[in-house]
């Protein structure tokens, strides 16, 4: 999977728009769009920023041979949702994607409730 397709997939799973990512890494939306289209690749500095902003490894972003086998959702000790993407979107059935998105939303709501209780 090339970088652009992988970035589009990660953004969709994490429910982050190109505009939001641009804001998170202090880049123009146009740059992010170019990366997603595959016209350009970001610099190493921006790859590090993207990985940090999306809470994924640089290796996951750069390894073109890595195939994703599923989406794992972990809640860390700080109460943030970490998603490790391990399957190409094209390989998932629409029902699986919908169920995973619902599960992510339920975990986010659970985290909000936990925070409100403290």
**What DSSP line would sit under 87-117, residue for residue?**
S-GGGS-HHHHHHHHHHHHHHHHHHHHHHHH
Please count the structural domains in the chain.
1
pLDDT at 58 (0 to 100): 84
Taking only the tens place, the pLDDT of each residue in 3-52 is 888 888 888 888 889 999 999 999 999 999 999 988 899 999 999 999 99
Instruction: Give 105 or 43, the one with higher predicted confidence.
Output: 43
pLDDT at 35 (0 to 100): 93
Instruction: Give 30 or 79, the one with higher predicted confidence.
Output: 30
Q: What is the DSSP letter of 67?
A: P
Burial of 10 (0-12, 13-18, 19+ CB in 10 A): buried
pLDDT at 64 (0 to 100): 66
pLDDT at 73 (0 to 100): 39
Q: Which domain holds residue 53?
A: 3-117
69 pLDDT exceeds 50?
A: no
Find the CATH number of the domain harbouring 113.
1.10.260.40
Q: What is the mean pLDDT of the chain?
A: 75
The Cα diameter of the chain in Å comes to: 47
């Amino acid at each position: 999977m090339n970088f652009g397709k992988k970035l589009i997939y990660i953004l969709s799973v994490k429910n982050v728009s190109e505009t939001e990512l641009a804001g998170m890494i202090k880049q123009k939306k146009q740059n992010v769009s170019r990366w997603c289209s595959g016209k350009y690749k970001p610099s190493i500095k921006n790859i590090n920023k993207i990985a940090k902003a999306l809470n994924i490894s640089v290796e996951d972003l750069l390894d073109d041979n890595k195939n994703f086998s599923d989406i794992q959702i972990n809640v860390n000790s700080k109460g943030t949702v970490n998603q490790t993407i391990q399957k190409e979107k094209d390989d998932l059935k629409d029902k699986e994607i919908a169920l995973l998105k619902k599960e992510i939303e339920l975990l986010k709501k659970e985290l909000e409730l936990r925070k409100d209780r403290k």
